[in-house]
Amino acid sequence: MTKPITRAERKREELRREIIDAAFERFAESGYHATGIADIATHLGIGHGTFYRYFENKRDIIDHVVDDVIGRIMTALSAENAPDAPTSLAEYRAQVGRVSDALTAILLDDPRVPQLLLFEATGIDVELTDRLYGLLDMADAMTVEYFRHGVEAGYLRTDLDVVNSARALTGMMMANIIHGIRNSDPAAIRALNLATQRLMFDGISAD
């Protein structure tokens, strides 16, 4: 049985979220490098000591955000959405739809997060750049597992280049995220996701 969250824990999580929000607002306004801890604390109306009870530094905020996104993605890709769950092409189509909706909700829940990670983070430091490349590799590897299972189960073509097909699909997903940042209209995002799924399954030929 899950232990109920106490009021103190809830207040702590709320303040942690407020610090992240304030930091991202300052990053967006002044840039990551030009933003100091004092700017974040002043923006939120808290002391430096309060900030340091939650984060070691402003770089630590980004790591926490990335960890949170990864955790939510891994949860979304479990159970019925796990790579080995489908047993037919119909089930796989349905799974892809669920996964697409879940990932869109996670990645575009706060557009500032993918915007920072895609367009600014690689200029912060080498360690973060390497971590983002690692996330790309992880996305490719996970997609390979979905494709590989489909080939083994017989509902995907046996000559499928699972590695490069996975990279191509990851590329389309990243492009979808960028379009979602530029146009957050749910209908437009849904239409783009559906077009990507149709391209994935049906191709573009008239045959």
Q: Tell me which residue range forms the domain holding 149.
A: 58-202
- Give the CATH number, domain containing residue 43: 1.10.10.60
**Same-domain check for residues 112 and 169:** yes
**Same-domain check for residues 16 and 81:** no
**Same-domain check for residues 42 and 63:** no
Secondary structure of the chain: what % helix, strand, coil (to 5)? 75, 0, 25
Is 23 among the domain residues?
A: yes
Phi, psi angles (nearest 5°) of residue 139? -60, -45
Number of domains in the chain: 2
**Same-domain check for residues 40 and 64:** no
**Same-domain check for residues 84 and 127:** yes
- Tens of pLDDT, residue by residue, the chain (207 residues): 556 778 888 888 899 999 998 998 888 888 888 999 999 999 899 998 999 999 999 999 999 888 888 898 999 999 999 999 999 999 999 999 999 999 999 888 888 888 888 888 888 889 989 989 999 999 999 999 999 999 999 999 999 999 999 999 999 999 999 999 999 899 999 999 999 999 999 986 675
